[in-house]
Amino acid sequence: MIVIDEQGMIIRVNQAWIDFCVENQAPETTWKIGSDYYGHLDRHGKHSELHAVKQVVNGEKIEHKQMYPFSFRAGGTQWFSAKIRPIQTIDRIGGAIVFLKPVSLHTVQPITAESVLESMTEGFCLMDDQLKINYINEIGEQLLQVKREDVVGRNLFASFPEAEGTTFDKEYNRAMKENVTVQFEEFFTPLNAWFNVKVCPLKRGGIALYFQDITDRKKTEEKLTEYAYIDYLTGLPNRRMMTHIAVSLREEKKKFSVFYINLDNLKFVNALHNYNAGDKVLRSVAQKLKELTGDKCKIGRLDGDEFVAIRQHKKGERLEEFAEELKTVFKKPFILDDFQSVNVHVSIGIACYPFNSESLGELVSFAETAMYEAKKVRGSSYAFFRPKMNVERDRRVKIEEGLMGNPSESGFYFTVQPQVDGNSGEIVGIEVLSRWNHPKLGELSPLEFIEVAEQSGTIASLTNLLLKEVFTKIKDWEMRYGWSLRTAINMTPSLLANPAFFNGFFELIDQYGIKPELIEIEITEQAELTYSEITLENLLLCKSKGISIAIDDFGTGYSMIAYLTHYPINKIKVDRFFIQKIGQDNKSEAVLTSLIHFAKSIECELLAEGVERPEEVAFLKENDCSIYQGYLFDKPMKVTDFEVKYLQNKYRFPVE
């Protein structure tokens, strides 16, 4: 069978025709789509056949039948019956179908329009103006999963009530009203399948319906679009998808809240283990959040360590409870591939639509702001957005901007605080304490900007800058005053686990020609730093070079004993918390004395921080702790003041 258009071009051909032509070495023009079939008949002298075909196509004949012999090259003849029928479209004839059948077969079937329709690969259905189905082909039966006898003679909507109100319903009406052919794609829920549907109004009334199952293609398309809306790592909806969800809730005039979920210490997990570990944690978090929240709300991942939950408001429900539920995901440690476990905490910021803002962009940024507020609390916590937070956020942004630029050009400097030997009255070292006189915000506490630097990933460059300035000063003092005391510099846990930072640190020491034994690094135990190989390696390297390692704020953190047993610590700075209690609280005094004994027993140097009263000095001296740092001696001071007092005037504290 071939189908030709009005110009006699082959527009369709079935496999049997091709096989026959190829087998008998007929020219390509007899079977190739796009070939000129009229031209072929003409060239081969088949004029009567050509005439007949043209008559059918021109509408002069409804059908043409002819028998003719075909001589095989190998010899022998085969009679064929040819049947040519017009292709009727809405208003004209759009070509013809040519059938050939060997007539020697006894079971020659009558070739009818029906057999054409049956041989189609599309579903086909004929209906009258009232949508009564008059005919459906076999493919149509298969695609719609119906039996001919059940649907023919019945109204379409009676057989497929679910089709009412669908695109089909709309498009069919349009096709009929405007008398145009329409084509569209539709998902038909009862069959769980996508169809490409063509509705052609017929000239004589009624419509012809062509349909194909395009579910596979749709699935591929969906997969592709899914990639644009799904986070590849966790399989959760991504930022784009979450935006869609929020937008549609807003369109439905629903109230909802945004929970901005940030993992606190993923940076450390990546630094201490590796990125696979971080990914593993992210995937487990995603999984657990999904399990926890179920259908109650939508969970998505924005990027990095940031997740978001969108929760529709329900009457009488307390958002605090949901926030608490989210926190439970982080109660237990996460297990890594190598069976190590890590604790991850979460900070959650909450903003409500439309209560906090009617702008979705603003809403998310408010939730983020609240998240930063939650971050200030140690461990997992949440915070609701309050307008006042915006002021703090602006402040944060300004600090971050300053850190991104060149901080020393925008007021970053450092002070030093002397460390005093109570027995001799001489200073034995200094601690470097950063300061920032911000052009817009004024004097900033290091507690504030160090935290921002840590969170914004600028701590390494800031510390580097500080090191250069400090080293320059040390060299200067060395030349002018023969300076040979120890200088302590604070380092955050993320730096300790950062080998690149340490390489730079050692390079600077070489470059500036600093004696390593004059440098001390202070590590604080405030952050819950779990044991890490990299930190240990870095600290061992420091030790091997002669750099001193002090543990800061001793007694206040979680892991003081772990620090002392894991890391090569050679100095303990007892926190001001204990020193303050001297003379006020017997219990704390007892703890303090045992801390001192403990330090002595493991041969650590000892320093008391935040010494403010002479009484404290007396107690400490009695208990064999004689190195002090505190306001009683000096506050952190400008470098020039320090120079005058201690280097030029060689000040000494009086001793009894």
Beta-ladder partners of 637: 416
Question: What is d(CA 544, CA 455) in angstroms, rounded to the nearest whole number?
Answer: 31
Beta-ladder partners of 207: 127, 201
Residue 635 amino acid letter? K
260 or 554: whose CB is closer to ligand C2E? 554
- Judged by CB under 6 A, the stretch of 262-270, 537-545, 559-567, 605-613 that binds ligand C2E is 605-613
8 or 610: whose CB is closer to ligand C2E? 610
402 or 630: whose CB is closer to ligand C2E? 630
Q: How far is the CB of 369 from Ca ion (least distance, A)?
A: 30
SS (H, E, C) 367-388: HHHHHHHHHCCCCCEEEECCCH
490 or 530: whose CB is closer to ligand C2E? 490
301 or 473: whose CB is closer to ligand C2E? 473
Does position 535 interact with ligand C2E (CB under 6 A)? The reply is no
> Residue 328 binds which entry of ligand C2E, Ca ion, none, with Cβ cut-offs from 5 to 8 Å by kind?
none
Which positions from 229 through 288 interact with ligand C2E, judged by CB under 6 A? none
- Judged by CB under 6 A, the stretch of 210-218, 289-297, 489-497, 594-602 that binds ligand C2E is 489-497
- Judged by CB under 6 A, the stretch of 333-341, 441-449, 470-478, 592-600 that binds ligand C2E is 441-449
- How do beta strands 571-574 and 346-353 pair? unpaired
Among 49, 264, 525, 552, binds ligand C2E (CB under 6 A): 552
Closest CA to 571 of 534, 600, 594: 600
> Residue 630 binds which entry of ligand C2E, Ca ion, none, with Cβ cut-offs from 5 to 8 Å by kind?
ligand C2E
Q: Mark 608-627 with x for binding to ligand C2E (rule: CB under 6 A) and - for no binding.
A: --xxx---------------
Helix (H) or strand (E) holding 580: helix 576-580
Question: What is d(CA 450, CA 495) in angstroms, rounded to the nearest whole number?
Answer: 12
Residues that bind Ca ion (CB under 5 A): 490, 522, 552-553, 609
Among 35, 262, 490, 623, binds ligand C2E (CB under 6 A): 490
Q: How far is the CB of 405 from ligand C2E (least distance, A)?
A: 18
Which positions from 350 through 409 interact with ligand C2E, judged by CB under 6 A? none
- How do beta strands 519-524 and 548-554 pair? parallel
| CB-CB contact of 245 with 252 (8 Å) | no
> Residue 228 binds which entry of ligand C2E, Ca ion, none, with Cβ cut-offs from 5 to 8 Å by kind?
none
Does position 631 interact with ligand C2E (CB under 6 A)? The reply is yes
| CB-CB contact of 466 with 432 (8 Å) | yes
Outline where 62-202 has alpha helix (H): 113-119, 138-144, 148-151, 156-159, 167-178
Q: Which of 186, 431, 525, 609 is catalytic?
A: 609
Helix (H) or strand (E) holding 431: strand 427-438
- Would you report the helix, strand and coil content of the chain in percent, each value rounded to 5? 45, 25, 30
160 or 554: whose CB is closer to Ca ion? 554
- How do beta strands 207-213 and 193-201 pair? antiparallel
Closest CA to 145 of 132, 133, 134, 159: 159
> Residue 492 binds which entry of Ca ion, ligand C2E, none, with Cβ cut-offs from 5 to 8 Å by kind?
ligand C2E
Does position 418 interact with ligand C2E (CB under 6 A)? The reply is no
Please state at what angle helix 459-481 crosses helix 499-512, rounded to 10 degrees.
Answer: 20
305 or 575: whose CB is closer to ligand C2E? 575
| CB-CB contact of 53 with 38 (8 Å) | yes
Does position 446 interact with ligand C2E (CB under 6 A)? The reply is yes
Catalytic residue at 609?
yes
Number of residues binding to ligand C2E, judged by CB under 6 A: 22
The set of catalytic residues is 609
Site for ligand C2E, rule CB under 6 A = 417, 433-434, 445-447, 450, 466, 490-492, 524, 552-553, 576, 610-612, 629-631, 636
